[in-house]
């Protein structure tokens, strides 16, 4: 059973981390393309286990590491190809 303090902590966590994060993503998506907004939203999912590992010392399994690496490499590849296109075009 949750105590009132624990319930308040969970509610504040949800409002500040999830609510504000998605509002900022929604506002920022007006300035970037839909593909970039999708990549940014995937980074939230990928970096979640990293934050838990850093702050709570939870062990990350190999499939989680491989999946996260694939998404991060896709983001880096996208950003590198976008930068090369901008240099050639400019």
The predicted pLDDT at position 5 comes to 94
pLDDT of 65 above 60 = yes
Phi, psi of 29 (to 5 degrees): -70, -15
Summarize pLDDT for 67-82 with one digit per residue, the tens: 888 888 887 888 788 6
Long-range contacts of range 76-84, CB-CB < 8 Å, 24 or more positions apart? Answer: 78/35, 78/36, 78/39
Please state whether the predicted TM-score (pTM) of the whole model is above 0.75: no
Distance CA 3, CA 22 (A): 28
Give 32 or 89, the one with higher predicted confidence: 32
Contact 23, 17 (CB under 8 A): no
The predicted pLDDT at position 41 comes to 77
Summarize pLDDT for 3-59 with one digit per residue, the tens: 999 999 989 988 888 888 888 888 888 888 887 788 777 777 788 888 888 888 888
pLDDT of 83 above 80 = no
Other CB atoms within 10 A of residue 64 CB:
15
């Amino acid at each position: 059973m949750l105590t009132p303090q624990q319930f308040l902590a969970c509610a504040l966590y949800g409002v500040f981390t999830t609510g504000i994060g998605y509002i900022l993503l929604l506002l920022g998506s007006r300035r970037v393309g839909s593909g970039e907004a999708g990549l940014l939203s995937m980074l939230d999912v990928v970096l979640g286990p990293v934050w838990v590992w850093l702050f709570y010392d939870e062990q990350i399994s190999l499939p989680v590491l491989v999946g996260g690496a694939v998404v991060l490499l896709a983001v880096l590849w996208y950003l590198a190809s976008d930068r090369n296109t901008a240099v050639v075009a400019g």
